[in-house]
Chain A
């Protein structure tokens, strides 16, 4: 049994009345999604836009409910949203009327109500330091660049001290250079905290750089997860290191092919593909 487990999750949305191609008027987004994640594992779910990635993360976060199936954390079914599944939202969702410190403090305060004020302050500063934003502590989100805002969102996610950290395409709105920096930094932060992470992304290289296992979400409607592709390279990884590694191209090819056939190719279901990257 995994640490975080998704069993037969299906989710449909009510379809637009003007496009009645589906008989029951419902648009299936996810169909029979099964996922087993170990503690301290970094998992990436890769899919194209519109494949139900955000739906998947919202389900795990408890922000929406599935039609079928259940989600278990440490063997117990989840019940609505909770800080034990901290979310870093795609568009940061920082509160614009609060400073960086206050945004992170809100999370520290929410999970540690009984702590002394000084202790809460200390923790808040710790998480801000972890994402290298100590200098911007007193600034409001409006004064920060996109990359800095996303760092604040990551700090807030970590400040919830979650059992599982959920990242919903955290870097998709950033320019390529900032994205590359933040990806490597996330790897470093993960090394320091060793949280269980589920990250949604549309960037295969990002997934290979960070994840222990990559799952593909075949294009919807009715998307389902393909088998895991293992990335067995030691952390922390760097782009330069990975590019020349022998297994890299194979992992990449495998992921791409799963992205194309994934949901429909039931033959491969359940048997993890072997795709270790040998790094020296």
Chain B
């Protein structure tokens, strides 16, 4: 091996060793760097309301940093010149290697070149890169371990979150839940009752979009309320537009006045009645008579219990008396057409002094009576419903049974189109249609089509009459669809209203009940909100509905406040206002409890009222407060100023 090769070999070994040494140091420096980042991330997560990925990233960061340090450290292999200079410096070779390397690059062979290379090679033989650069843990390792220990310690420290932040988080959670529910409800509505009008479809899609937005974006309470109010306003406007249609208005009126039996056709009702009559047999009993019979039997049962263990002559006489009464009842039941075989068996058991068997048979008879009574009651209701069904087209339209009217119209069309229509049948149809013209006035152009049909039938134009009737039927179907749209919009408005209330009060979807009325026209669980013009209960106020004067200890706000009732300032006490729902009049009787506040107030009373007044003025200016309440709201805050 020549002198130059010896030098180059030594430089190569030193360069490799140096590369690995730097990679090794880079590894530990990477760990230190990663540990510091972890510490910063964790500390930030503990102190500030940063996203949760900070916490997730904390244990993961050091590993890639170590890897990056290793790669960066060992990325570049030092060149021979650099290595030679470094070796000169490290081994005190006084620039022998670097000078030799530089001279070796020269092609000119000189005595000095050989002398210098020879001298450097002699020194290079003794170079041991391992002893020059031993692998040992750098000082950074100790710091890295210290920082990691700090990270581990900090992991046990609970995170600090301000009250406002927790409240905000809770609000966001609620808003998301509300958004999900709103989306689900809207989807269900869209599936169940696909809207007929494009505008309604768009509105429902807007509600669905809003629900999705609420469920995905992190909105503040005010933003969410603003969005909800905006979409509500849109729906409200559309509903108002729909309600301007007089035909729809009248349809809604007759639908409200009707018993809602329109959904069941006459044929369906008759089928149910027949089925029940078949089950009840030849019974001509009424529920009241069956009730009386049951009461008598119960009395006898009580009397029989008293004679259970007695065997005196008086008791025997009593049993005979009971048996006679039972026999009379059995006959009475048979007269009503009610079959009670257990009653006869009970009489026999009583005669045989088998009290237990008697009681058992009597219980069975009572149960049979219950079933019969229920069946009789259902039958009675169905018969009442059947009586209310319109018998002809006029009655059906007058009763607000458009589906039945549609069926009748279809039947008439088929008859008119039939070839063998007799003059009597035509006359009958003409009479029915003529009679229906007046009640059809509430159904848009239906009356017009019926009138046209009448004229055509009188003229003997059966085909034209059938077409006019088909137009009437089509118009009716169209109105039905629009009414369905209005109902869908109403349902959506209710859902939006509930969503607003949930967001406003910070309650879950299930916890906050929508205001307004319950099915059946009864008062709902809450009153209207400022944002909802129609949320107020619009039903007739009865003494059952008006509970403002009732003292309900079970509903007293126990636990809602830590302050004693006596400590409450007068201005903060619930205010009861009585009145009627009419513009300009007094407010209805409502107990305004306000938002429950726990703990001590953090702001001055004046500050709170000023803020509330500002919000109220804003709501008034944006017409978010129903007109009925606007004056009262102004008065309330004017009073507070005093």
Q: Do A and B come from one complex?
A: no
